[in-house]
Structure 1
Amino acid sequence: MLATGAVLAVTVGCSAQVVTDPAGGADDKAGTGSGVRIEPAGPASSSPSAKPAAASKPPVTPSAQPSKSATRKPAPPKPEPKTVMASGSEGDQVRELQARLRQIAHFNRAPTGYYGSVTADAVTSFQAKRGLPLTGTTDTVTWERLLGMTKKPTAAELRPPAVEKPAPKPDPRCMTGRVMCISKTSRSLSWMIDGKVMSTMDVRFGSQYTPTREGTFKVGWKSRHHVSTLYDTPMPYAMFFSGGQAVHYSADFAARGYSGASHGCVNVRDEKKLSSLFDQVRTGDKVVVHW
């Protein structure tokens, strides 16, 4: 027998484990009285000397710094172009526009100061060549681009001298007295006094649907700043000779030339000449319209 508190080495399989039972054989049912308990061997890793592997820490990712571009304020939107001139505009600025367009071969006639379809077409042509929106309207972008490409027009460029046409042979009815002698053949008006031609100017007539009447008439009345009550259009320096038909200045004729027509009146496109004629013609003076 072993003494109480003795140590017994027991071999089980491939592992030996020493167990000490200081209390003796109280639980010794086999009657050995050895006071020793045999425990199954645990796994090798359960040894007190084995240290658990340290848990690996996840890598620390530095917080992303906001880029400078992300904090930059968006650029304010560009202002919409504003209209400077458009169809129907009149005045010195329109005359300057036409003169500048003429410098770069987009307007092929003398400036008139009236913004009609010919001027709108010239502006559209300029816009097309510069990659601008094709509006035919002169806005701030179009105007600034044109100013940058051209020079300030001279007085001669703004108002070139008119080329006088030789006066056609007058109708015999025009050879006596004070007469506005109007030829549909030469499309001209000659102001004559006793057979002598005092001045001549280009004229335009009505269309086939609204023809200008032919014959001998008299100036019934005059209106310097007349506006048509039928068409609501200006008729400056109007000299009425046959009902509602009159000799008057036409800004449309000045702008479009012979591509248009009147509603029966005799249109004049040279405002300066007609203004002078208006001051000379009297009520009752003769008007002859002929071929």
Structure 2
Amino acid sequence: MHRQRVIIRTLGIATAVALAATACGPQKAESAGSSSSASSSPTAGATPEASPSTDNKPGDASPSASASASASASPSATPAVKAIMANGDESDQIRELQARLKQLKLMSVAPTGFYGSKTTAAVKSFQSKNALTASGSVDDATWQKIQKLTKKPTEEELRPPTTNEVDAPDPRCMTGRVMCISKESRTLAWMIDGKIVSTMDVRFGSENTPTREGEFKVDRKEKDWVSTIYHTPMPYAMFFSGGQAVHYSADFAARGYAGASHGCVNVRDKGKLSALFAQVQTGDKVVVYW
């Protein structure tokens, strides 16, 4: 009898050790194990936005969360609506969306192809006016309605040569002397103590050579500079992050947004940049943001 108790106790310790080892395994494995019953649910393919329990981490399930999961599996649950374009996305389809929203007078900035706060607000406004769910993301119903009420954008509408409207300044731009550079509106606003002094169109690096985002300072200025890597002229260069600088680009002036930089912030108006170059001082702030 005593021997049986020892064996049972030993097996109990071994089981506890095995369970502890399993709990320390990859989170993905834990999720797979804990969601085996959910995989047979009709809503297993629901998007994270529509699933009431997706904010819970693996192992955080509570009785109420389980109840919610059970409720979502009922046949009467509303199917998840899939977004085909949403905040943070970037594509030519989004550029077309923005051009169509501009036709509807819901956007004033030039199309950029990036789905940011302005596009989200414009889409939400359109959805509210057309009895659609005002999510700010574009689903099939929203996209079809927008296409129905607009015409296919021309190349000039998609990539207009006109000056872009300045974006709302980032909060970091509201104090001091700042080159406030918005990737969404593709503009540079020279600001002093929260007031805009001058603005100009800009373009950025490609996907392979992106312009860095963040808060920087002008560390040096070079009126006549040639890239030591690409051997191209960079007049009125104001360096702010390693080799990245704000500078005039003859290519931007000639081709517009059909091209891209190697990471620098290109300006196409040489006269405006010349005036800005004379005002900016080493140590002035540079903010690059979406």
**TM-score category of the 2 structures, normalised to the smaller one:** 0.3 to 0.5
**Which of the two has greater helix per residue?**
2
TM-score relative to the length of structure 1 = 0.44
Which has the larger Rg?
A: 1
**Which of the two has greater strand per residue?**
1
